[in-house]
Structure 1
Amino acid sequence: MGSLARAVLNWVSGGLLDKLLGFVERREAQKLAALNSEQQRAHEDRLSARAAAKDIRLATAGFWEMRLLTFLIALPFLVHLWLVAWDTYWPQPWTVEKLPPPFDEWEGAILLSFFGVSVVGSGIKAVAGAIAYRDVGRR
């Protein structure tokens, strides 16, 4: 987050943003400090893997093939969602069955990832971890 945007949001929130971010930074720093060296290496490896995955997503985001592939993967789940909603709101003579395992458990996660919700959550965790790692590195 840019410093101007952070300052504006902090002013609008009456200082709540800085308090919240400070709490998150301290909490992550405490968690990281409590880890042993092997756990810290594992944490660094996870951060590196996330950064590499982000680089791959950014590098392939402009290709129409990736957008088509994402669409085709999400399409069956979206159609199922629409059919369930249609049958719920306007009962039909046919019924929509639930998806077979393991897709019945994954459908929500797939749909949320399609809309970027889980990516945003992971991004927030990654930023918090990066801030905590940066702060521990200064000590």
Structure 2
Amino acid sequence: MLTSILLRLVGWLGGGVFDTLIGRVADHLRQKASDDLVRFQTGVQADTQIALAQLNAQIEARKLQAQIMEADRGWWVTSFIRPLIVYPCVLHFSAIVLDSTFMFGWGIAKLPPPYDGYEQAIILSFFIARPFEKVARVFAAGRT
């Protein structure tokens, strides 16, 4: 209420000069708000384009990963060879470790040489070397 009284008093004293001055200030503030809105909209559009580009890149990376996994598995018959070789070795090794650690009395014998070394190589190749091979394939697919 006090503000409106002051504005009327200033308007009465200043006349048209005050109206012109207030009009110019209002126009300046409107223009500044409009410029800020344009900058904000431009920023939102740029952020949207960046987000879309990132999503498209992730989709392409997932497609490449699916292709690598499909190529890695190969034919359905050959895809079972690794599990059929590795799982018995892991099961045997685990049984030996559990029996010797907790003294269950299972009496599981170690494999005789050279088969014990084969078992160790199979387990190491599957659980240690295999992840590095997959990582190398992903990086190799990303470079092409």
If the TM-score is normalised by the length of the shorter chain, which range does it land in?
A: 0.3 to 0.5
Structure with higher Rg: it is 2
TM-score, structure 2 as length reference:
0.37
Which structure would you say has the larger RCO, counting Cα contacts within 8 Å and 6 or more residues apart? 1
More helix by share: 2
